[in-house]
Chain A
Amino acid sequence: EAQVTQNPRYLITVTGKKLTVTCSQNMNHEYMSWYRQDPGLGLRQIYYSMNVEVTDKGDVPEGYKVSRKEKRNFPLILESPSPNQTSLYFCASSSELYNEQFFGPGTRLTVL
């Protein structure tokens, strides 16, 4: 089954404790993105990747890091989380030829 998976689905952590949210897709997509969803603000892009070892900042990259060492995986790293990073995070992938984005199930992060 073609899908995008994220882990964990829910995470409660404390300020300053490094965390990683994993994202994996099995559709051989070139493009992968991370979004955060906040009430009244919609979906805002954090980082995106065009292919292995090619990443770039989206609209709200501050406080986040990403890596793309393999085509299928695109982890999101919060080196020192802060309460303003409490949000719902979605990973998405798409192919170069077709533009439809396939979203993961989401990760609800709470930073205390």
Chain B
Amino acid sequence: GENVEQHPSTLSVQEGDSAVIKCTYSDSASNYFPWYKQELGKRPQLIIDIRSNVGEKKDQRIAVTLNKTAKHFSLHITETQPEDSAVYFCAASKRSGGYQKVTFGIGTKLQVIP
């Protein structure tokens, strides 16, 4: 089955700096790569996603890049703010038996220091 590796597991940055979280996946059939943000005590919520026919996607201060050849995708947050502090999960998804199966990474705890 699919294996998603995510690193780093923890990341501390100064407010205003950039943060980068990286993920690799194993199954070349994966075609959808979402990123979820989970604030303390809250549910995970989608912040950005990318499909396999696109190499990069940007939404204000966040961007995701995808390298299908290397099976690697990354989340980039620029001009970090304290409210960006949360756990971020990457995921890889593929069609399997009529269902879009999703495999999550273990998460990255991001701390933005004011």
Q: In the complex, are the beta carbons of B43 and A106 less than 8 A apart?
A: yes
- Other-chain residue from A40, A43, A48, A104 in contact with B104 (beta carbon distance below 8 A): A43
CB distance from B31 to the nearest CB of A (A): 9
Interface segment, one of B13-21, B53-61, B70-78, B92-100 = B92-100
Q: In the complex, are the beta carbons of A41 and B43 less than 8 A apart?
A: no
CB distance from B17 to the nearest CB of A (A): 25
Residues of chain A contacted by B44 (CB below 8 angstroms): 43, 90, 101, 103
Q: In the complex, are the beta carbons of A100 and B43 less than 8 A apart?
A: no
CB distance from A50 to the nearest CB of B (A): 5
Q: Is A84 an interface residue (CB 8 A)?
A: no
Sorted nearest first, the 3 A-B pairs with minimum C-beta distance are A42-B106, A103-B43, A43-B104
Q: Which residues of A contact B (CB under 8 A)?
A: 31, 33, 35, 40-45, 48, 50, 56, 59, 90, 94, 96, 99-101, 103-106
12 interchain pairs, CB-CB under 8 A: A31-B99, A35-B104, A41-B106, A42-B106, A43-B107, A45-B101, A45-B102, A48-B101, A94-B100, A99-B93, A99-B100, A103-B44
